[in-house]
Amino acid sequence: MGKIERKDTEAVHSLHGKVFEQLENAILSGQYKQGECLNELKLSEDMGVSRTPIREAFRQLELEGLVIYTPNRGVVVRGFSKEDIRDIYQIRSMIEGMTARRATENITSELLKELEETLELEKFYTEKGDAEQISALDSRFHDAIYQASGSRLLIKTLKAFHHYVKHARNLSLSNPERAKKTYEEHKAIYDAILDRDRELAEIKTEQHIRNATDFIEKISLT
């Protein structure tokens, strides 16, 4: 856990936000495992901040359901279980297709260009086998579709879900076969959107989420 750089004039709430984001990412990426205790003093020293923003971040993480206070142990990582992740993917499978349909109806030329550029980069990094870049581009691809849907509630819900399964996605996309298949599925979704075929875009997106779910079911998330 790296230290957080800050200026003396930086607002306390901004520092708390950075601490929270760093701890949240560490939990969602699997750096902190389910059941692991988080030591306030050690984190304070490791991150180079006082204990106050650590405590505030703990409270926010508890509200997010990522940690829990337990007697005699303190703050314990709850994270997301395999069952939680399965539930998230099942919910995504029910609403991402609808989101792709709306995106097909509403997408702008700028967001079409964003999808095209993302796919070009995804193909490049898939051929190179760069899992970190592939995962980032996976998020970028889906985010563009969420934005194109024009639905504030869908954008908020799906971006949160996509973020919460970060560890599962990273493990999945580190598999070269699944990474290649993901690119092909993204390309099929893009082609349907480009052709303004909203029904096909919905079908291809639902297939993509089902395939991702099936693969995640087969791998260990530990």
The domain spanning residue 30 has which CATH number? 1.10.10.10
Picking from 36, 60, 77, the residue at the C-terminal end of a domain is: 77
DSSP assignments along 97-147, one per residue: HHHHHHHHHH--HHHHHHHHHHHHHHHHHHHHT-HHHHHHHHHHHHHHHHH
Same domain, 28 and 60: yes
Same domain, 69 and 154: no
Identify the band that residue 3 occupies on the pLDDT scale cut at 50, 70 and 90: low
Same domain, 65 and 103: no
Identify the band that residue 82 occupies on the pLDDT scale cut at 50, 70 and 90: confident
Q: Assign residue 35 a region: left if phi > 0, alpha if psi is -120 to 50, beta otherwise?
A: left
158-196 pLDDT tens trace: 998 988 888 889 889 999 999 999 999 999 999 999 999
Beta bridge partners of 37: 76
Total domains in the fold of the chain:
2
Same domain, 88 and 66: no
Check: CB of residue 28 under 8 Å from CB of residue 71: no
Picking from 30, 53, 77, the residue at the C-terminal end of a domain is: 77
Directed axis angle between helix 82-106 and helix 131-149, to 10°?
50
Same domain, 32 and 95: no
Structural domain for 105, as ranges: 82-218
Q: Is residue 1 part of a domain?
A: no
Q: Which residue has the tokens 């999945």?
A: 172
* Rounded mean pLDDT, 89-94: 89
Four-residue CA torsion sign, 61, 94, 141, 101: negative
pLDDT at 7 over 60: no
Same domain, 104 and 167: yes
Same domain, 125 and 175: yes
Which helix (H) or strand (E) element contains residue 68? strand 67-70
Same domain, 100 and 162: yes
Residue 2: Cβ-neighbour burial (10 angstroms; 0-12, 13-18, 19+): exposed
Which tokens go with 160? 């949160």
Query: What CATH number did the domain enclosing 119 receive?
Result: 1.20.120.530
Q: Is residue 5 part of a domain?
A: no
Same domain, 92 and 66: no
For residue 90, count other CB atoms closer than 10 A to its CB.
Answer: 12
Same domain, 70 and 145: no
Same domain, 52 and 89: no
Same domain, 94 and 177: yes
Q: Is residue 152 part of a domain?
A: yes
Cα 3 to Cα 83: distance, rounded to the nearest angstrom = 33
Q: Is residue 6 part of a domain?
A: no
Question: Quick one: what percent of the chain has pLDDT higher than 70?
Answer: 93
Q: Is residue 35 part of a domain?
A: yes
Check: CB of residue 174 under 8 Å from CB of residue 131: yes
Per-residue pLDDT, 71: 84
pLDDT at 135 over 80: yes
Picking from 55, 77, 99, the residue at the C-terminal end of a domain is: 77
Task: Give the Cα-Cα-Cα angle 31, 134, 22 (nearest 5 degrees).
Answer: 30
